[in-house]
Amino acid sequence: MKYTLLILSLVFIGFSCTKKEATFQREDGLNSFTVAGLEQYLKTLASDEFLGRMPFTEGERITLNYLEEQYKTLGLEPGNGSSYLQEVPMVEITTTADASMEVKSGKNKFSLEGFKDYVIWTERTDEKIELKDEDLIFAGFGIVAPEYGWNDYEGLEVKDKIVLVMVNDPGFGSTDATRFKGNTMTYYGRWTYKFEEAARQGAKGLLIIHDDVAAGYGFWVVQNSWNKAKLYLDTRGKNNYYCATVGWVSQPAAKKLFEAAGLDWASTVSAARQPGFKGAPMNLKLSTNLSVKAKFDKSYNVVGKITGTKQPDEYIIYSSHWDHFGIGKADEKGDTIYNGALDNASGTAALLELAKGFSSLKNKPNRTVIFLAVTAEEQGLWGSEYYAQNPIYPKEKTVANINIDGINPYGKMKDIVVVGIGQSDLEDYLNEEAKAAGRYTSPEPNPVAGYYFRSDHFCFAKVGIPALYTNTGIDHVEKGAEYGKQLQDDYVAKYYHKPSDEYDPTVWNLEGAVDDTKLLFNVGKRLAFETNWPQWKEGSEFKAIRDRYMKR
């Protein structure tokens, strides 16, 4: 009798142990994801009352209050000590550029027209920037990439001069898939990289020659930022060097400059794609002025967490930017509010749904799950950059980042797109979850555009944290892939960064978004229940960074 009791109680203890042993359960929490839930968050964040969610404005205050309230309602703990906020010190720099720029070539003079021919601004906080007969140097792509044996600055004296470079990288449009990454844009192809490199070289200025295809967007996107306020991190006291002026020239204007310099456009541009190309001074002198207003202020990331039960000091970070462009230039219909419904009220809504999913788990996760709504993405990924440079949770202890910037508004898709395919093991997790859901993953349809470098996960990647970023699939369940691709092209043409990016319940269909969010939920959930550390794959430009500090 005694023995039976003992055995029985052992069985009981054993049973309750296995019950307590929290493992990944694919179905746990999935029921909490609903179209209505997602829609409610999305509708609110994208409403006119939120004033386009611009940092430093009333729109920010309303957004922060709303997010903090939702975090609390969903049972998230404060993610930054006792606070849900992380302060991000920033500076808003408003450049007013002269209406034109004077170009001198020998005795000849002509001028380029601001906005139409070029768009320039400064990252400096000086009140006035004067460009007076500054030398212009053509420096190919403006890239220094030791791993590709490429250095466009080698032997060029660019200190205190203006550098003119091409957009994208030499792999783009080449028939050689091993040159950089072929048509897939590398970080070297991004304008942000080119600005940073020119500053490292001590250049006074940098102009990038625009190209619709190579840039991935039209010149109008660049023109949108003409004489507009821009945000940067406040780096006072840090002694960082910034170029006096940076910006873009249109391709027709660049051709004019080439002609004035006596350079043949086609042959120079094609020579610049070849290894060993040497840039040269163009013997042109540029003059123009910029006046500058700098306003120091603070914006905020919103951070909440669910503390893990077994490895609470290991972190999975979901991120999504809450900001958009606020109130600006009216569109054809007279609308001035940039609601950013898809970009990124939708991703922030998904972040809240994910928090709801994790809160609803029967088994609490082993690792800690962080929900990070970041600021100032649209102005240069600043909220995530600040977090990455000033992490609340150490990068050595951060397992992965999963970022959401835009969700699928088009209804159910068979596929989900992995942006930056081949980067990390996280895509294998996604593959598996997609398969389990009867779906599949596909590579991004437009790898040329460099989307892997264009949202907040990139700031995590730059400090070595494996980061997953997905996009809406194109294989529409009812209407097929052609239709799906058409929808996305339409979005870029009609809605992207325009006041018309609004939530319209008669057009949007969030069923596919719920499916995608569930996949991202299950990827994060698996990570939160296991002890594995996903890695960057061989060939990723971020692998070495991670390995450097994770070597034990």
List interacting residues with Zn ion (CB under 5 A): 343-344, 405
* Distance in angstroms (rounded) separating the CA atoms of residues 338 and 161: 37
Nearer to Zn ion, 376 or 399 (CB): 376
Nearer to Zn ion, 85 or 374 (CB): 374
Q: For residue 227, what are the contacts with CB-CB under 8 A and spacing of at least 6?
A: 94, 95, 96, 97, 121
Nearer to Zn ion, 344 or 366 (CB): 344
Q: What is the amino acid identity at position 215?
A: A
Q: What is the amino acid identity at position 345?
A: A
Question: Among residues 323, 288, 305, 290, which one has the least CA distance to residue 59?
Answer: 323
Minimal distance, residue 342 CB to Zn ion, in Å: 8
Q: What is the amino acid identity at position 492?
A: V
Strands (E), 155-310: 162-166, 205-209, 229-233, 245-249, 280-306
Minimal distance, residue 497 CB to Zn ion, in Å: 9
The helix-helix angle for 251-260 and 265-272 (nearest 10°) equals 100
Minimal distance, residue 349 CB to Zn ion, in Å: 13
Minimal distance, residue 376 CB to Zn ion, in Å: 11
Nearer to Zn ion, 197 or 456 (CB): 456
- Strand, helix or coil for residue 338: strand
- The answer to whether residues 219 and 208 touch, using CB atoms and an 8 Å cutoff, is no
| Percent of the chain that is helix, strand, coil (3-state, to 5) | 35, 25, 40
- CB half-sphere exposure, 37, CA atoms < 13 A: 19
Nearer to Zn ion, 28 or 405 (CB): 405
Nearer to Zn ion, 118 or 503 (CB): 503
Minimal distance, residue 402 CB to Zn ion, in Å: 15
- Strand, helix or coil for residue 452: helix
Nearer to Zn ion, 215 or 399 (CB): 215
